[in-house]
Structures are given as C-alpha cells and as structure tokens.
Amino acid sequence: MAFSFTWFLSIIHDKFRKGRINFENTLELLTKFDIPFDYVHVKYIFKASDTLKTGQISIEDFRGIYRAIAHRCEIHELFKSHSQNSKILQLSELVRFLRNQQFQDDANETTASDLIAKFEPIEEAKRNREMTFEGFLRYMSSEDCTLFKKEHRTVYQDMTRPLCEYFISSSHNTYLISDQLIGPSHLWGYASALMKGCRCLEIDCWDGSNDEPVVYHGHTLTSKISFKTVIQVISKYAFLASDYPVILSLENHCNPKQQEVIADYMKTILGDRLVTSTIDGKMPTELPSPEALKFKIIVKNKKLGTLEETLERMGTDSHGQTGEFEELQTSDEELDDEPSAKEPLLKKRRASWKGAGPPRKKQKMKKVKVALVLSELVIYAKSRKFVSFEDSREKQKFYENHSMSEGKARKAAKAQATEFIQHNIRFITRIYPKGIRTNSSNYNPQEFWNVGCQLVALNFQTPGVQMDLQNGKYLDNGGAGYILKPEFLRHRDTQFNPFSVSGNHSAISLTITLISGHQLPPSNLSRTNKADPLVVVEIYGVPEDQMKQQSCVVKGNALCPRWNQMLSFHVKVPELAIVRFVVEDQLSLTSNDFLGQYTLPLLSMNKGYRHIPLLSKLGVSLSPASLFVHVWYSQQ
C-alpha cells in the first residue's frame, strides 16, 4: 500500500538530507524501525551495498538493507496467503489466521484488535483496524509467537501437593565454578544457580581456622570460602527468581563446635525464613507443599533421633549438647554413594595411576558426632542411608530422604524401575554425579526424571546437552524450580515402567516443519557472515521416545536459510518428553560445529507458526538469531 512507503520515508528522510549515510547512521535507523538485527549481518550487507567503497550508502541502498534484514520472504508468503488483496489483513482475516493457523480457539475481533494496536507501526492502518505486512512481521517475530507457551511462563500447576510429588531443580557442589579437584570455589556459584531458579543447593562444610567453618570440596585443592558468606549470598538471592522453598543440602564434616557455628549463622542470617519447626508445631503425616513453604529455607542433613523428639524439645536451648551415631563405611563399589564416606579424590586419582591393586576390604563402622543444635534444624529433610526399596517401605519415615550416586541409581532404575517410581511417590531421592567426574561433567538427567527422582543434581557450571535439558525442563511452570510430576509418577498404585511403556498412555503424533532460520550466528571458519547450517531436532524422554532427525544443509547462508522440511515423530510418553532444537554449521561430511540451541518440554510447545529464539552453549540469548517453524501434534 502507498502508506507503507510513506511511513518508511517518514522515518528515514531526516538522515538522508545530505544524500548518503554511513554505517553508524544505518544502525541508528534500523533501531528506529523496532526490528531486531545482528551487527555482523548488517555490517556485511552494508559492505556489499557500498559498491563505491566510500563508507556511505544511498536511500535505495538502505531500503535494500532493511528488506534483507526485515522483509522475510517466508513470512511475506504466509501473509499474502491469508490476505485477500495481498496488501493488508482485514480484522476478520486476522481472526481466521489466529484460529485456523495459530490454534487460538478463543480468538475474536477483540484479540485481533489488540494485536493490531500492539504491533502495527503504520498509524493509518491502525486507525482502520487493519494489519499491514509490517505489523504482521512484528507480530510473527514477537513473544506472542514464540514456540514456548505463554501460559507456561507463569506458575500454573497445583503447588499444594506434598514436596515429594515435584521435580525440584537441583545443583551439585554448587560452590564450584570449574572442575572438582583444583578449580576455584566461589560465591557466584550460589548466586548464579539461584538466579537460574535452582531450589536445592549443596554446601560442603569443613572445619576452618578460628572456629569459622569453610566450604570447599574436601581433600582436594579447590579453594575455600567461608560458610558465613555462603549463607549471606543465599539469603540475598534465594527468592529473586522463585518464591518457592530452597533446600540446603549440607555435607557436614565439621566438629560439633563448628556445627554450632553453622546453625547459629543460619538462624541469624536467614531469620524467619529458616524452617525450624513444622508449620503448626504439630507432628504431620506427610511432607508440606511448596505453596505452604513459600519464601522458606529447608535444611537437609543428618539428624539425631526423630522429628517427634525434636518437636517435644522445642523452646529448649540445645547448645553444647551432641549426639553420636554409627555409620557403615561401605565397600569400594558403593564408595561414591555416600559423599561423607568418600576417599580423598586426589588420593583416588593417584591410586588409579599406579594400577588397580588388590580389592579393598569392606570398611568398618565409623562414629559420627552431630551437634544437637544443628540436628534440630533438620525438620523435613533428614538424610538416611539407602538400603533397599523393601527396607524403605518398612522403616523410612516420610520426612527422610536419601542420596544415590548416578551409578547406583542407574542400576536400580534398570532392575527395579516400578519399585523405584513407587519409592519416589512416598520419599524424596537425590541423585548426584559419580565421583570420577572430576572435570565436572554431567550425566543425562532424563533417565532419573523418568523414574520420578525429585532432586536430580547437576554441575550447573558445565554447559552441554545435560544442562540444556535441565534449563529446558525448568522453563516450565514459570521457572519456579518446581514441576509437578505426571499423574503416573504420583499415584501409589502405579505400574508405570519407562523401559516398557504399556498401551494405555496418551501417545502423540508430532510434526515439525522446519521453514527457515533468521540471522544465525556465522560459522567460526567464515570471515564473512556465512555458514552452512542444518537443524537437528532431538527428543529426550523414556527410552522408546529417544530419537533425533535432521534437516538438509543450506550452503553459504546464515542470514536467511530456507529448509521447508517436515519431520515427524511418534512420542509414547509426551508428559516426560523434552525437545531440543540444535543448529549446526556443517564443516565437513563428518564434522559439524554448534551454532545455537533451544530446549523445552514437548507439552509446552505452541502449535502453529512459531519462532524459536536460539541460545548459546552457555544458555545466553543469541537474539535475533532464530528458527521459524510450524508445529502440530495430536493424540493418537
């Protein structure tokens, strides 16, 4: 329409009074159009437009740059196919598009009018309640059209169920920001994890000088930070990303005197937010809910005696009192299943260099001293040694939990999947990386979510597929760090087995059409803004649902590659499925380089035409880099 060009000229004419503009002016003008652009791509398009090599371009050159960056052919084709005159979308046409293509069943003229008011930049069209291509383009690249469901960006799940019915975002050795042996311990580890919505932090406490407990990875060369400053940082950052309870998983190696210091610091610094009694002071019969513990901090640690005994002693000063219990130091096979019983990691490393040697004998019982004042702070999360599922059924109390290394948990999941799930319906289980992961690598958390483990702890400092899955899963439910487990992982009579999925599950058929990419990061090997991109779509879930498919390669185009390729998937257990989109640069027939990714739960995906914002390996936004897709899924 004529007023599109008039609108365009009205924005740029001031800059072109002298006839031509330089690169800085070009960037300023693009900003005025409220269209996201990538500096590198604009730089190379500008260079190509500046045929006289003067560092200046004409008004027609700028129009060409704007079209190259903003006027995406695939979106223009979509616009024209839903506009009767190919120039504007009438209100009724926009309503039809929203209902039929974006699957917004409740869309009406008010919905469409709101979108026009929000995204249409041309005043005349806005007054006529019409949407031009400029408005449609801004709508299609907006938050309203992202793949991730808008309603899942806030807390929408039932938060009144017992804690054991939720997956809870959990970190391993939170204080480490590098490897497990010689890397630094840093307060940023806690602040960063909390800002990512992590709700379970690990604190390894050791005796420090001047009766000041320190936090570090014991028996290694990792640096030390004071326990007091750790609690101060937790106090500051605990509830900035989420209102829901934080669990402090203490690995306590301190003498009773310094344990009292630990207890006193937590009480004085955390104040009323620290859980020091049950909600009403009475003995409960099940764990409280995340809703009931909003803005509260729970201590997970070893405990003397029972919760009933603690409640009876309420109001008495237990400073100076200690208790003692015996703990079995297990065989070498289970050495890393109980962090307090592990050997010095550096010694284990050196031993492996010398050769295996004879097998170790089973370790003897050891006595552990616990300060009563610290023990009394353990209310809802008493650590208990795992013996067997049968033992837990008979003897474990609802407020007791246990930690298992990934190795032991993996064996249990494969051998007794249904029993493991039934155990996790009643009790909280924490999984942590095996001790030989000295480089802070991570295991695949999905295999433990599949059996309902709540606290699946990862090394947050190590980027990769595993942390992409972690971050993608916990995007859901408003990033609160608590995800309600599917019904079949919460009902006590469940017979669900992730290794053998029965036919009574609501399987879905998923179709993803990869249409195009937009302003992708250039190849690391390219001196310009080019790449040879391809897209891999990966599904993570129960073993039968693990699959991936990839697109063809588009040669030499990172600015606007087109694939127009349909990928189809059959997903048996969509409630546990996570979808990961990975964009790679093909370096050779056998080697690809990572360009960007985006990961989210399958059931958090919007249907219809959607754009996917890409993230770096570290999870940082690569805006405006994105994919444009069409998604459809339905129950079979």
- Which residues make Cβ contacts (< 8 Å) with residue 359, sequence separation at least 6? 332
What contacts 24+ positions apart, CB below 8 Å, involve 59-64?
Answer: 59/12, 59/16, 62/12, 62/16, 62/21, 62/26, 62/29, 63/8
Quote the CA–CA distance of 544 and 499 in Å, as a whole number: 7
Active-site pick, 41, 152, 186, 217: 217
172 is catalytic: yes
DSSP 392-454: HHHH--TTEEEEEEHHHHHHHHHHSHHHHHHHHHHSEEEEE--TT-TT-----THHHHTTT-S
β-pair type (88-89, 482-484)? unpaired
CA distance 577 to 580: 10
- Tokens 């309902």: give the residue: 452
Phi, psi of 260, rounded to the nearest 5 degrees = -65, -40
For the record, the structure tokens of 64 come out as 């060409």
Count H helices and E strands in the chain, helices first. 20, 24
Tokens of 100: 């039929």
Torsion 448-454-456-460 (CA) sign: positive
Rg (CA), the chain: 28
Q: Cα dist. 487→77, 476, 490, 495 in Å?
A: 43, 17, 5, 12
Pairing verdict, β 246-252 and 297-300: parallel
Candidates 41, 172, 186, 518; catalytic one = 172
The β-bridge partners of 204 are 251
> Structure tokens of 10?
């009205």
Is there a catalytic annotation at residue 505?
no
d(CA 406, CA 207): 28
Residue 225 phi, psi (nearest 5): -130, 155
Q: How many residues does the chain have?
A: 636
Residue positions annotated with a catalytic role = 172, 217
